[in-house]
Chain A
Amino acid sequence: MIDTTQDTRKIVYISLLVAMSVVLHTLEQMIPLPSPWIKFGISNIATLLALVLLGFKEAIIVTLLRVLIGSILFGTFLSPTFMLSLMGGVSSAIVMGVFYKFFPRYFSLIGISLFGAYAHTTVVIILVYYFIIHHKELFYLLPVFLFFSAVTGIINGIIANKLVMKVIEEKVLGLNLLQKDYY
């Protein structure tokens, strides 16, 4: 019985995080930015929350569902944009998962988010280079993109830190769902 309640809770939390992620993803598309190449990546906050509160597998699930639902909403399903979003999202989730698992005491979510943002940007640029724009000049722009992704990554990390603190203080989640070596 306890196991089924736990499973149901987990599914509910995953759905909530996916919903939050999709909404943030949608909002992000509406914010006007000087360059179309720069995105805030705020939907990554949901992935971070899933990683810390639920686990690595759940973080990947949240990312996959966010990319899938987001692409269906915007009509970009299976388009190059979707592929970039998918590969970038999954690779950043994997990198964040690895850093969270192996260096939990060295970095808070700010560092983890920064690594995720860098992974996302780098993977997307490499894919764009190999599949769309075959010009080495593209890599001259990499420092610019990495700089902006560092800034947004740090901001997302700060927000995620605060949210995780709040979730623990308010005891929203059953604490047994939390990773053991957290804090």
Chain B
Amino acid sequence: MLLLMSPWLAGFSIFFGYPLVMTGYLSFTHYDLLSPAKWIGWANYSYLLHGDPQVWPAVVNSLEWIGIVVPLQVLFAFGVALMLARARLGLGFFRTVFYLPALAPPVAATLGFVYLLNPATGPINTVLDHLGIQGPLWFQSPGWAKPSLALLSLWGVGNTMIIFLAAILDVPRHLYESAELDGAGPLRRLRWVTLPTVSPVVLFAAVFGVIQGLQYFTQAYVAANIAAGQASQAGDTINNLGYPQDATLFYPVLLYQHGFVNFNMGYASALAMLLLAVAFAVVLVILLNSRRWVHYAGAVR
């Protein structure tokens, strides 16, 4: 048995176990990547909790993201899937169109959005301008930067949408029919037939979304640097992280800044350990909570 599992065990310990143990160890050291790590006890954690002025804004940004944008993503994906499931004409066309954005590489998609939403030269604001509306500053304003990123992430929600679509199409027809015979309208059918049947997928989308949300990095990094644009110097990209005014300083961005720009990998490891703990806790809460609303077909309660 052990022999059969050995490829998996080896992979698990090399690519997961070892990095995890090393991160744990390094979080108690001063490690600048270049000289040997030095044991400093809890100093990194104490700086994390009491000293680093960027931690709190980063935590708030990330919490806002998983609290608002992730639920929106799930809702949006579900809504689009519902509509696609009911479409009569051009079925293949619409499915493709709504899925396509998911294929765009995140960096390219972000670049595209930053250009589209450029407050001075972007087509969106140009159109708004013609309508006599002063468009927002989008990625250049602390208030609009996160909504802009949210737009981007809703646009690229295709993967989740496809999974929802498959689940919705999989709902047994006879359930709908008997519900209809019982006099249930479309809304009640949605609430009492569709939702319970696809609830495992909702759970999957929620957990997956939260984990992705906690690791949200690439789009924020690229958007900040491109939008700040004007000072994109080799040595100074660091000062663009979180642009504008820490609005896009998500927790992983902060982690990157400390580990890879400031040569402070020991401290970055401490940040990573906290992220792991929080991700674990949040997912645990969702899973425990899900027992009340997730319905597994054929499962005995």
A, B co-complexed:
no
Binding site for B on A (CB under 8 A): none
On B, residues with C-beta under 8 Å from A are none
